[in-house]
Amino acid sequence: MQYLTLTELRAKLGNRSRSAIYADLAAGRLPQPIKLGGRIYWPEAEIDAHLRNLRGEAA
pTM for the complete prediction?
A: 0.83
SS3 17: coil
Residues facing 36 on adjacent strands: 39
Taking residue 6's Cβ as centre, other Cβ atoms within 10 Å add up to 15
Q: Per the structure, how many domains does the chain have?
A: 1
Range of the domain at 40: 3-55
* pLDDT average, residue stretch 31-35: 95
Where are any strands of DSSP class E within the chain? 3-4, 34-36, 39-43
How large a percentage of the chain has pLDDT more than 90?
85
